[in-house]
A and B are shown apart, each in its own frame.
Chain A
Amino acid sequence: MRRREFIRLGSAATATAMVGGGLSTNWFGLYGNPIPNPGTDGERVVPSFCELCFWKCGILAHVRDGRVTKIRGNPRDPLSKGRLCPRGTGGTGLLYDPDRLRRPMIRRDARGSQVFEEVSWDDALGEVAANFERITARWGVGALALFSHGYGGNWMNHLFRSYGSPNIAAPSYAQCRGPREVGFDLTFGSGVFSPEPTDMEHSRCIVLIGSHLGENMHNTQVQEFTTAVRNGADVIVVDPRFSVAASKAREWLPIKPGTDMALLLAWMNVIVGEGLYDREYIEQYAYGFEQLKEHVKPYTPEWAYPRTGLDPEQIRRTAHVMAGARPATVVHPGRHVTWYGNDTQRSRAIAILNALLGSWGRKGGFYIPAQAELPPFPYPSYREPGDQIADRPSPSDYPLADELLTQGVCEATIPGVRDGLGLKGWMVYGSNILTSLPNPEQTRRAIQELEFLVTVDVLPVEIVGWSDVVLPEATYLERCDELLAPAFRQPYVAVRQEVVLPMYDSKPGWWIARELAHRLGLTDFFPWQDSMEYAKTRLEGTSFDCDVLRRDGVVLAERQPIYFDEGLPAEFYTDSGKIELYSQRLAAHGFDPMPTWHDDDVEDPPPGYYRLLTGRAPVHTFGRTTNNRLLSEVYDENAVWVNAAVAAKWGLADGERVHLENQDGVRSTFTAPVKVTERIHPEAVYMVHGYGRKPKGLRFVHGRGIDDNELVTRYKVDPIMGGTGMNVNFVTFVRAGTVEAAEADSMTAGEEVEA
């Protein structure tokens, strides 16, 4: 009743306002007070899924007058549950980015000169096809490589496999989560994958090792993490930085950077030594417990103390908390884990610790995910790749790598680094490899050696400037895509739909791949007219109705058992069929069969230098989103976090701008403000990745902050799977403005640090 009264009141007020509006003078007080309505609900709502990061949350996009006004979480979607992170909410900042690539371009001067001519799609695609054919005719199809990141990359992947090149690599493996996949696979017979099957919403204890949930905003994980916090779960955070997660924790372990392995071994020492592990689980499912028991004996908390800087009592206490909550304890595997080059072994240690706690396959630990079965599209078989894989010197190098190594693709492009003919042509899809691969100088050298480089992207990022042909892709809000059927708690299918028509002369990835295929004689591999026809074909004969899927964005399948306790058989796809605490496969390849501490694994910073650590801001996905106007309004430049005591020694004031210079004398192009803080270990500095961008065409981020990747001139390659450990660089401060004079100053100050 009251609402109705109000509506009447409101309409009367509108009438008054109209009268007032007719007067030539503003008569303050004459107007009523209409409720201000921004009208952003629009006239239609289209469900789809997000691409601001790679979590793929279900969204609802509101459209008014052909423009997307706002993006909300889709309540039907099991990943977002109707809630979104800031990036997904700010998706319109990508769609309406004024710097978007608008038309296809062909380079008309020396590579890197950025002299481009806008051309038709027909000319651009013709140029790409002609170069692919020329390279294939002269060097073989294996001389072509694809770098890819993001869901639209599926179409390019299909194009390359149809054409016959196996050289397809993504930085998400060797620069990110690869070691974790191999470490868990060696232990449980399954990688972790994405979304991580951590059952945090039921956990009673959550252990995060350098994983900064809350700043890393993978939506479902953050939702579950905070649900656990709300329910009183004990959170244990290991991080040299007082992260947001650490501020929610019962115990924060401010570890000396690089020594996580020592802590993990000490935890095992306590849990095994005091008999706190899950005996029944280990007896039933594990292989190699006796060897492990002997192996961890010397690694006491007191042994770990001088290495990690952590109080032995805190190590013991946290081990007791973890064991007390088992099996509802999850030691999170992390995601970006390429830190020190021993990362597969550290991931193994995390996996083994979870095994001791009996958490794999158990409620509150790790669930075993289920996936909706969709038949593949009835394509012809791909051509045999033969022995053309070019990312490593020989198959015996990095023997357990199960994806291609991006840095290896670069090396194989530079003459003299590898035997053989090397790579001659690249396609780079949605993957700005100059800021994501370590040692960008090596990447640039490889680019200069190429006969041909084509880039498919949305924005004029660094790699675009080096390309011969630039193909502007439509954003995720302007295109359909491959169906999504992730392995998750509940199997489901989601669809990405064209919310609005592509702006400018941009085209969807599926269209680009299909057009190229037609020009390369691969029509048989792209028999569909558009991606929706493709999707419909895949859904035929399944229980998923395409019309319902398009209406709701998501169709759930029946929930299946996801815990061993629910009757799911405990199967481990390892060599022994058991959880391998001791890995015979690692032993066979000459690696430590059980995680081991090596004193020389981690180098200390030289005097006056600090270990460079990087992470994420919650509003950004690396450098992909830093030019998004909506998101950059919240976080528009990275700062260099410097421990307050260190800053005092250097005389650095909060907000003072500095360059960073690394151990090899490489100085950051741009400057960033110092953030003087107690929240970082005095041995390290920290910054958010994705800033200090060079292209002037990125107006909101050009020159803002420091590009950490410039300073990653060194990396330590994981001998097991080829991941590039990147936290092995050290930096010092060079005051901005007076660079030459400041250099002398900084050296003096550097000495003071030692004094």
Chain B
Amino acid sequence: MRRNGKRYGMAVDTKTCVGCSACVIACKTENAVAAGYSRDWVTTRTTGTFPHLAMTIQSERCNHCEDAPCVAACPTGASYYGPGGTVLVNQRKCSGCKACIAACPYGARFIDPAVGSIDKCTFCVHRTEAGIPTTACQEVCPTGSITFGDLDDPSSEVSRQLATREHYTLLPDAGTRPKHFYLT
């Protein structure tokens, strides 16, 4: 499944992310995402009452799970594990049945209305496989909050961040083993 011997992962630093959505816009233009849709998005969660407040901002996208429920749910084999363990969709095999949308606990998938099949974050695999080491969201991020790379390479920036910083994943109890992390 890990066809290029790498295991791509991403970490977003919630200490520095300001939730500006540059990642969202850069993804839209890099990947020519259909109008009205986004492959990544920003959430904020505020706790406390005025004036004792805390807020967490997260830039979110497909978690590229190691045990991806969407891949298991896909009846046509359109959802598959691509290079570096990315979770990808072959739109030509996709019948648009939406079983994967129901299966994904992260809301990462949508139907591209132009082709009637699933669209989602690819970890910019077209860039990484062409030798560009960054994803579009990572490259644009004005706060440098997004790191991306090979989780199996201890010298990669993402591995070093995860080794030295506290972090969490979304819905760890879902058993999906996400490869998208949040640094705290």
Q: Tell whether, in the assembled complex, residue A90 and residue B31 are in contact, meaning their CB atoms are under 8 Å apart.
A: no
Docked CA distance A35–B93 (Å): 13
Given contacts A36-B122, A634-B24, contact A70 B141 (CB under 8 A): no
Residues 7 to 51 of chain B near chain A (Cβ within 8 Å) = 13, 15-16, 18-22, 24-26, 28-32, 35-36, 38, 46, 48-51
**Per a CB cutoff under 8 Å, which of B28, B54, B122, B126 touches A630?**
B28
Contacts of A92 in B (CB 8 A): 29
**Per a CB cutoff under 8 Å, which of A10, A633, A681 touches B50?**
A681
**Nearest-Cβ distance from residue A67 to partner chain B, whole angstroms:** 11
Docked CA distance A677–B51 (Å): 11
Docked CA distance A86–B144 (Å): 14
Does A242 belong to the interface (CB within 8 Å)? yes
Q: Tell whether, in the assembled complex, residue B29 and residue A619 are in contact, meaning their CB atoms are under 8 Å apart.
A: no
Q: Tell whether, in the assembled complex, residue A244 and residue B57 are in contact, meaning their CB atoms are under 8 Å apart.
A: yes
Given contacts A29-B77, A223-B144, contact A630 B29 (CB under 8 A): yes
Q: Which of A77-85, A171-179, A436-444 contacts B (4 or more CB under 8 A)?
A: A77-85
Q: Which of B28, B38, B55 has the most CB of A within 10 A?
A: B28
Q: Which of A1-9, A128-136, A326-334 contacts B (4 or more CB under 8 A)?
A: A1-9
Chain B at the A interface: SS class: loop
Q: Which residue in chain A gives the minimum CB-CB distance to B31?
A: A38
Does A120 belong to the interface (CB within 8 Å)? no
Q: Tell whether, in the assembled complex, residue A679 and residue B16 are in contact, meaning their CB atoms are under 8 Å apart.
A: no
Q: Tell whether, in the assembled complex, residue B18 and residue A215 are in contact, meaning their CB atoms are under 8 Å apart.
A: yes
Q: Which residue in chain A gives the minimum CB-CB distance to B145?
A: A226
Given contacts A70-B30, A633-B38, contact A89 B140 (CB under 8 A): yes
Q: Tell whether, in the assembled complex, residue B144 and residue A618 are in contact, meaning their CB atoms are under 8 Å apart.
A: no
Q: Tell whether, in the assembled complex, residue A247 and residue B92 are in contact, meaning their CB atoms are under 8 Å apart.
A: no
Contacts of B90 in A (CB 8 A): 31, 33-34
Q: Which of A37, A82, A227 has the most CB of B within 10 A?
A: A37
**Nearest-Cβ distance from residue A115 to partner chain B, whole angstroms:** 32
Q: Tell whether, in the assembled complex, residue A28 and residue B142 are in contact, meaning their CB atoms are under 8 Å apart.
A: no
Does A236 belong to the interface (CB within 8 Å)? no
Q: Tell whether, in the assembled complex, residue A644 and residue B49 are in contact, meaning their CB atoms are under 8 Å apart.
A: yes
Contacts of B169 in A (CB 8 A): none
**Per a CB cutoff under 8 Å, which of A2, A28, A33 touches B80?**
A33
Does A362 belong to the interface (CB within 8 Å)? no
Given contacts A89-B140, A90-B25, contact A618 B49 (CB under 8 A): no
Q: Tell whether, in the assembled complex, residue A618 and residue B76 are in contact, meaning their CB atoms are under 8 Å apart.
A: no
**Per a CB cutoff under 8 Å, which of B20, B125, B131 touches A214?**
B20
Does B3 belong to the interface (CB within 8 Å)? yes
Given contacts A33-B82, A83-B144, A84-B140, contact A217 B15 (CB under 8 A): no
Given contacts A38-B31, A644-B49, contact A9 B55 (CB under 8 A): no
Q: Tell whether, in the assembled complex, residue A618 and residue B19 are in contact, meaning their CB atoms are under 8 Å apart.
A: yes
Interface string of A582-604 (1 = CB under 8 A from B): 00000000000000000000000
Docked CA distance A245–B15 (Å): 11
Q: Tell whether, in the assembled complex, residue A230 and residue B140 are in contact, meaning their CB atoms are under 8 Å apart.
A: no
Q: Tell whether, in the assembled complex, residue A631 and residue B35 are in contact, meaning their CB atoms are under 8 Å apart.
A: no
Contacts of B114 in A (CB 8 A): none
Contacts of B67 in A (CB 8 A): none
Interface string of A224-247 (1 = CB under 8 A from B): 001101100000000000101111
Does A348 belong to the interface (CB within 8 Å)? no
Q: Tell whether, in the assembled complex, residue A682 and residue B50 are in contact, meaning their CB atoms are under 8 Å apart.
A: yes
Does A544 belong to the interface (CB within 8 Å)? no
Does A726 belong to the interface (CB within 8 Å)? no
Docked CA distance A641–B24 (Å): 24
**Nearest-Cβ distance from residue B18 to partner chain A, whole angstroms:** 3
Docked CA distance A49–B57 (Å): 29
Docked CA distance A215–B143 (Å): 12
Contacts of A72 in B (CB 8 A): 26, 139-140
Q: Tell whether, in the assembled complex, residue B50 and residue A644 are in contact, meaning their CB atoms are under 8 Å apart.
A: yes
Q: Tell whether, in the assembled complex, residue A226 and residue B18 are in contact, meaning their CB atoms are under 8 Å apart.
A: yes
Does A219 belong to the interface (CB within 8 Å)? yes
Q: Tell whether, in the assembled complex, residue A31 and residue B140 are in contact, meaning their CB atoms are under 8 Å apart.
A: no
Q: Tell whether, in the assembled complex, residue A247 and residue B57 are in contact, meaning their CB atoms are under 8 Å apart.
A: yes
Contacts of B163 in A (CB 8 A): none
Interface string of B65-93 (1 = CB under 8 A from A): 00000000000111010110000111111
Given contacts A28-B93, A37-B126, A247-B54, contact A678 B15 (CB under 8 A): no
Docked CA distance A9–B82 (Å): 12
**Nearest-Cβ distance from residue B119 to partner chain A, whole angstroms:** 9
Q: Tell whether, in the assembled complex, residue B15 and residue A242 are in contact, meaning their CB atoms are under 8 Å apart.
A: no
**Nearest-Cβ distance from residue B71 to partner chain A, whole angstroms:** 12
Contacts of B133 in A (CB 8 A): none
Q: Tell whether, in the assembled complex, residue A35 and residue B126 are in contact, meaning their CB atoms are under 8 Å apart.
A: yes
**Nearest-Cβ distance from residue A393 to partner chain B, whole angstroms:** 43
**Nearest-Cβ distance from residue B178 to partner chain A, whole angstroms:** 21
A-B pair number, CB within 8 angstroms: 183
Does B4 belong to the interface (CB within 8 Å)? yes
Q: How large is the interface on B (under 10, 10 to 19, 20 to 34, 35 or more residues)?
A: 35 or more
Q: Which residue in chain B gives the minimum CB-CB distance to A244?
A: B18
Contacts of B13 in A (CB 8 A): 230
Does A475 belong to the interface (CB within 8 Å)? no
Contacts of B95 in A (CB 8 A): 28
Docked CA distance A487–B142 (Å): 21
Residues 1 to 39 of chain A near chain B (Cβ within 8 Å) = 2-3, 6, 9-10, 17, 20, 26, 28-29, 31, 33-39
**Nearest-Cβ distance from residue A212 to partner chain B, whole angstroms:** 10
Docked CA distance A219–B35 (Å): 26
Given contacts A83-B141, A86-B22, A86-B24, contact A38 B126 (CB under 8 A): yes
Contacts of B38 in A (CB 8 A): 633-634
Given contacts A230-B15, A244-B57, A619-B21, contact A36 B50 (CB under 8 A): no
Does B175 belong to the interface (CB within 8 Å)? no
**Nearest-Cβ distance from residue B3 to partner chain A, whole angstroms:** 6
Q: Which residue in chain B gives the minimum CB-CB distance to A57?
A: B142
Contacts of B80 in A (CB 8 A): 33
Contacts of A31 in B (CB 8 A): 90, 92-93
Given contacts A3-B129, A9-B3, A629-B35, contact A219 B142 (CB under 8 A): yes
Contacts of A83 in B (CB 8 A): 22, 139-142, 144
**Per a CB cutoff under 8 Å, which of B3, B21, B46, B129 touches A618?**
B21
**Per a CB cutoff under 8 Å, which of A36, A73, A252, A619 touches B88?**
A36
Does B154 belong to the interface (CB within 8 Å)? no
Does A222 belong to the interface (CB within 8 Å)? yes
Contacts of A629 in B (CB 8 A): 35
Q: Tell whether, in the assembled complex, residue B51 and residue A631 are in contact, meaning their CB atoms are under 8 Å apart.
A: no
Q: Tell whether, in the assembled complex, residue A618 and residue B18 are in contact, meaning their CB atoms are under 8 Å apart.
A: yes
Q: Which residue in chain B gives the minimum CB-CB distance to A73?
A: B140
Q: Which residue in chain A gives the minimum CB-CB distance to B22?
A: A86
Q: Tell whether, in the assembled complex, residue A38 and residue B30 are in contact, meaning their CB atoms are under 8 Å apart.
A: yes
Q: Which residue in chain A gives the minimum CB-CB distance to B38?
A: A633
Q: Tell whether, in the assembled complex, residue A35 and residue B29 are in contact, meaning their CB atoms are under 8 Å apart.
A: no
Docked CA distance A34–B89 (Å): 10
Docked CA distance A20–B25 (Å): 35
Q: Tell whether, in the assembled complex, residue B29 and residue A69 are in contact, meaning their CB atoms are under 8 Å apart.
A: yes
Contacts of A230 in B (CB 8 A): 13, 15-16, 144
Can you identify 20 A-B contacts, CB atoms within 8 angstroms? A3-B4, A6-B3, A35-B83, A36-B91, A37-B126, A71-B29, A82-B139, A83-B22, A84-B140, A85-B22, A89-B26, A214-B18, A244-B19, A244-B55, A246-B53, A247-B54, A248-B16, A619-B25, A630-B28, A634-B21
- For the complex of A and B, the 8 pairs showing the least CB-CB separation, nearest first, are A214-B18, A618-B20, A247-B55, A254-B51, A226-B143, A70-B29, A37-B126, A89-B25
Chain A residues in the interface with B (C-beta under 8 A): 2-3, 6, 9-10, 17, 20, 26, 28-29, 31, 33-40, 69-73, 82-86, 89-90, 92, 213-215, 217, 219, 222-223, 226-227, 229-230, 242, 244-248, 252, 254, 618-619, 629-631, 633-635, 643-645, 677-682
Q: A40-B32, A86-B24 are in contact. List 17 more A-B contacts (CB 8 A).
A: A3-B131, A10-B129, A20-B92, A69-B29, A69-B32, A72-B139, A83-B139, A84-B142, A89-B22, A226-B142, A229-B15, A247-B53, A247-B55, A618-B21, A618-B22, A633-B28, A679-B46
